[in-house]
Structure 1
Amino acid sequence: MGLLEGKTLLVTGVLKDNSIAFHVARLAQEQGATVVLTSFGRQLRLTEVTARRLPSPAPVVQLDVTNEEDLAALGDRVREHADRLDAVVHSIAFAPQSVMGGNFLHGAWPDVATALEVSAYSLKSLAVAARPLLGRGSAVVGMTFDGSVAWPVYDWMGVAKAAFEATARYLARDLGPDGIRVNLVSAGPIRTTAATSIPGFEQMESVWDERAPLGWDVADAEPAARSVVALCSDWFPATTAEIVHVDGGVHAMGQ
């Protein structure tokens, strides 16, 4: 019997098969779950193509997390494929390149606001939109990149991740009475399509393996994906507002 046998997961952020979200969806299916994906706009077609590479083709529903109409319609769109959700995986982040890559002091508010809305506020938006489908014992799990320190080149995306982590704590507080857990996985650098679009990303990934006590493979998304799947399961029934680091141990090491 799989870890997620009989459960239904909504997974956001699947674009290509090198993404953490894709491996979450794959592992979830292998562990017995039904998976529904989300995408929007020009990315939708690409997500549909990638969905066919999963062990079982997964339906894709329209969801732009910054669009109120999409958020309001999420429940009905999911119900076309499943009558409930047992977990929601948030794997969405975006910041204009103008606020990364050494541009912290020059970042303009409209671009910073975009980064904060898509990469932090959207966790609340998604959780609230999915809430009617989530019962007691369900989970919301998000992907972060340690927002407690200042990283080279990450700039306002780092600020957005700090806000994302704070948002998760407040969601855990407010959704806990409904029996909904909210946790995050803080992964080390993975060479995904999104990560490699960050100007200077190679500065972070190049030293990670040296600093990690366990070592680190920037091409292997499975360790992070496994942690997400575990947090979606029933094996963490009393864990919420937690950040699980899957980074080879770098977060605990000094400079």
Structure 2
Amino acid sequence: MLLEGKKLLITGVLMDSSIAFHVAKLAQEQGAEVVLTSFGRTTKITTAIAKRLPQTPPVIELDVTSEEDLAALPDRVREHVPHLDGVLHSIGFAPQGAFDFLSATWEDVSTAVHVSAFSLAALAKAALPLMSEGGSVVGLTFDARFAWPVYDWMGVAKAAFESTNRYLARDLGPKGVRCNIVAAGPIRTTAAKSIPGFEQFEEAWGSRAPLGWDVNDAVPTARACVSLLSDWFPATTGEMVHVDGGYHAIGA
């Protein structure tokens, strides 16, 4: 099995439609032991959804904007597994004001950047004491090389996220840890539903992607994440892997 004996920390399991849920499910099926994170009022939701996985994993408290939670992460993880072989960052949030580019306030923008970009570095740093040689950090993005309709400051935050991945690859590579991200096409998740006008992506994607695209199928994206969390990409870091039906390769 691809992840036999691996210990993984997976963030972002909120519903069984979420990409993170499918990563956790596939990871368990491939032999991994999984620990989930959640925080605040969403912990009850994550705990309930966790029961739908092949094995019910523990759920630990982690707010990636909380220095206290980040500092406590190693001890909280060690209550369940002795070390980590991989971490999935599936975290993103922007206030509604951030989806109006010219009217957004710095407060809105800074929140988006903190939660959706800086948190990748914060999570990787917090998990580093637990990471074994050959470990892997994998994040999820929506290709931020372009100015998309309606995405606005979340798109800017994702551009920062993608740059953060490259700098992490630079700094964590000498420690034996890889950092890569997966650029997924639009998936009908809870996060997507919070973006006003997100259906514009859904309508265009299926017709333009050479391989087609199913907005209800998170499995192809999950498979890419699991592959990057495995030992099958030992010399790949700082990379962005597209799982979008080929949409990114097509012009007008």
TM-score, normalised by the number of residues in structure 2: 1.00
Deviations 1:43-102 (A, max 9, x none): 0000000000000001000000000000000000000000000000000000011111xx
Q: Distance in 1 between matches of 2:5 and 2:133?
A: 15
Return the offset for 1:130.
0.1
Residue 119 of structure 1: aligned partner = 116
Q: Distance in 2 between matches of 1:207 and 1:253?
A: 12
Return the offset for 1:3.
0.2
Q: Does 1:219 align with 2:216?
A: yes
Residue 22 of structure 2: aligned partner = 23
Match of 1:171 among 159, 168, 171: 168
Kindly report which structure 2 residues correspond to 1:4-19, keeping only aligned pairs within 5 A, or say none. 4-19=3-18
Residue 248 of structure 1: aligned partner = 245
Return the offset for 1:196.
1.0
Deviations 1:197-224 (A, max 9, x none): 1000001111100010000000000000
Match of 2:207 among 205, 210, 230: 210
Whether the aligned pair in 2 keeps the contact of 1:151 and 1:158 (CA below 8 Å) is yes
Residue 36 of structure 1: aligned partner = 35
Residue 102 of structure 2: aligned partner = 105
Deviations 1:118-154 (A, max 9, x none): 0000000000000000021000000000010000000
TM-score, normalised by the number of residues in structure 1: 0.98
Q: Distance in 1 between matches of 2:227 and 2:168?
A: 20
Q: How many residues align structurally?
A: 252
Q: Does 1:232 align with 2:229?
A: yes
Residue 82 of structure 2: aligned partner = 83
Deviations 1:220-254 (A, max 9, x none): 00000000000000000000000000000000100
Q: Distance in 1 between matches of 2:75 and 2:146?
A: 40
Whether the aligned pair in 2 keeps the contact of 1:208 and 1:216 (CA below 8 Å) is yes
Q: Kindly provide the amino acid, as one letter, of the partner of residue 144 in structure 2.
A: G
Q: Kindly provide the amino acid, as one letter, of the partner of residue 132 in structure 2.
A: G
Whether the aligned pair in 2 keeps the contact of 1:184 and 1:242 (CA below 8 Å) is yes
Q: Distance in 1 between matches of 2:8 and 2:120?
A: 16
Return the offset for 1:164.
0.1
Q: Distance in 2 between matches of 1:106 and 1:148?
A: 22
Which segments of 5 or more consecutive residues in structure 1 lack a partner in the other structure?
Answer: none
Residue 66 of structure 1: aligned partner = 65
SS in 2 for 1:104: coil
Q: Does 1:152 align with 2:149?
A: yes
Q: Kindly provide the amino acid, as one letter, of the partner of residue 247 in structure 1.
A: D
Q: Distance in 2 between matches of 1:217 and 1:109?
A: 35
Q: Kindly provide the amino acid, as one letter, of the partner of residue 60 in structure 1.
A: V
Q: Distance in 2 between matches of 1:97 and 1:146?
A: 20
Kindly report which structure 2 residues correspond to 1:175-194, keeping only aligned pairs within 5 A, or say none. 175-194=172-191
Q: Distance in 2 between matches of 1:98 and 1:53?
A: 34
Runs (4+) off by over 2 Å:
none
Residue 143 of structure 1: aligned partner = 140
Q: Kindly provide the amino acid, as one letter, of the partner of residue 147 in structure 1.
A: A
- RMSD over aligned CA atoms reads 0.4
